[in-house]
Amino acid sequence: MTLQNELDAGLAALDLPLTATARTRLLRYIALMAKWNAVYNLTAIREESRMLTHHLLDALSVARFIPEGATLVDIGSGGGVPGIPLAIARPDLSVLSIEPNSKKASFQQQARIDLGIENFEVQTARAEAVNLPEGRDFIISRAFGDLADFIKVAGHLLKPEGRMLAMKGVYPDEEVRAIPKGWSLLRSEELQVPGVEGARHLLWLARELQSDG
């Protein structure tokens, strides 16, 4: 089966209809990642077919949960996952990637230019040092660390009513119990990723807003 066929089958399984242009960009992104990976070590996965399932389709499994026109920050995405696939699949989104590793950030910047992803930006910095005065609707991370660290590092980038989205494997019971005071788990979605075995979850976190009364 060709990568194109694998992508088409994966998108059908996710019920995510995309334009021919978006599909082409996604395949070019995989090719670009494979090319740069030889030098920049973007991912431990070397085979393009597994990059497609374990990175690209894994990222796209959350696309349907993000409202139209939302602003999204991707924290520590390395090679650009999930931010770049989401920006390609969802041109209505405004996606900012914050990546402290300069080589990985350079790859993301090159991907943005080569693939013409106008709704995607990358900033080379540690998330703790970034200031976004107006905040963003969603902060997303994939395999970033535990939930408490995610909140500590990136919670300040969120609008007061915004949501933090943590992509996880097995449901992290201990991490949920250790969520810091002032924050809460709103819900958890179990994800089905084509070609990926094992549990996948999307956890929604939010501030516990204090009422005036």
Residue ranges of the annotated binding site for S-adenosyl-L-methionine are 76, 127-128, 142
pLDDT at res. 46: 87
Tell me the average confidence (pLDDT) per consecutive run of 10 residues in the chain, 213 residues long.
95 97 98 88 86 96 98 94 98 97 95 98 97 96 92 97 97 97 97 95 91 42
- Residues 26, 7 contacting (CB under 8 angstroms): yes
pLDDT at res. 27: 98
pLDDT at res. 1: 82
Residue ranges of the annotated binding site are 76, 127-128, 142
* Euclidean distance between CA atoms 114 and 31, whole angstroms: 12
Domain assignments of the chain as residue spans, ordered by start = 3-207
pLDDT at res. 210: 58
Distance of CA 99 to the CA centre of its chain: 12
Q: Say which CATH topology domain 3-207 has.
A: Rossmann fold (3.40.50)
- State the Cα angle at 180 between 206 and 187, rounded to 5°: 35
pLDDT at res. 212: 42
pLDDT at res. 211: 47
